Structure 1
């Protein structure tokens, strides 16, 4: 699944985003593109769980 995260602008943001997602699914893999401000996630978690986890860490994620 892919998400647009407008306020993910740097490597530190990527680390926070990955940690939030891994809190929902420790086996998730996350590929981030800070220029496009998008992530691609391979996970067994549902979209709403990912969005909620990111929101809890201050990141607004829009599914693409």
Structure 2
């Protein structure tokens, strides 16, 4: 009988779960895409984020 009791866990009611989460801010993973357009190379951004280009450098 003791083994049967250990195999199960008492679940909380929706009300109890709502009370636990009250006051906690939700964290959501939201993808972000930033695009920087410039006619000249910005070394700080290049070092921090890398660089992709499809054209020759404009002088």
Taking structure 2 as the reference length, the TM-score comes to 0.22
Taking structure 1 as the reference length, the TM-score comes to 0.21
Greater relative contact order structure (CA < 8 Å, 6+ sep): 1
Q: Looking at CA atoms only, which structure, 1 or 2, has the larger radius of gyration?
A: 2
